[in-house]
Homo-oligomer: A and B are copies of this chain.
């Protein structure tokens, strides 16, 4: 083993808290890689909700989930993640084991459609609220695209301010590669 790359490390952390039959949210479905990972990880009895504002992304993700035989475990919403609390089942509140964010823009999609602090921060806040004790939120931050560095900065400032009694938050980042994505993980103790 070498040093874990950003996404595999996020998956490792999520796997550590996600019980079989658990509930998870992909806050940025994109091409559906994390959605598929979550759908597999929750197992036959589990359930995943996913959000994206781009129909193109949801179609690609839907195809990926179908190809892998797990589409029935996933509900995709053509909605921004800042509205997740309106669309998640009410009984999920405080019971979601994992929420994953992959910020920035859709790879091979329209590079001008990016996540922005005005919606990202409310989405993070809702995700933390819906997280179960013992649950984890992960967010991969990108700084290469226009607006990315500002978004990463705003997210980091928001996470820095979280009450340390209610949340434990870490960052995992590459130091000698410019614009390498970095990972934020927030753990809600208890449970």
Chain A interface residues (CB < 8 Å from chain B): 1-3, 13, 16-17, 134, 136, 156, 159-164, 167-177, 184-185, 187, 189
Contact = CB atoms under 8 A, between A and B. Distances in A.
A168 B17 contact: no
A100 to B, nearest CB: 15
A44 B184 CA distance: 39
The A contact surface, by secondary structure, is mixed
A27 B50 CA distance: 47
A14 to B, nearest CB: 10
Contacts of A3: 13, 136, 168, 170, 185, 187
Given A2-B187, A17-B1, A170 B169 contact: no
Contact of A171 (B13, B163, B175): B175
Contact of A174 (B16, B169, B189): B169
